[in-house]
Amino acid sequence: MLRLVISDVFIVLGAIWFLQGIGTLGGSFMSHNFVWALIGAVLVLVAAQMQRRLVSPGARSK
């Protein structure tokens, strides 16, 4: 359960970083910076993969 919440936080954080990187969300040193858009996109993908593993029917509960 905790891992699922953490992956949710990572998805939101990654989305914010991505949007700041592409310039949609302003007001930060990350705004209009491609590096942060890339970092955010990678974080969202990794967290989504983590969620997929956690909620798949064959996943072990810890």
C-alpha to C-alpha distance for 37 and 33, rounded to whole angstroms: 7
CA distances from 54 to 8, 9, 14, 17, 40 (A): 12, 15, 19, 24, 21
H or E segment to which residue 16 belongs: helix 2-21
pTM of structure: 0.83
For residue range 22-31, what is the model confidence (pLDDT) as tens digits? 999 888 899 9
Residue type, 32: H
Task: Write down the domain spans for the chain.
Answer: 2-55
SS3 19: helix
Q: Which residue has the higher pLDDT, 61 or 23?
A: 23
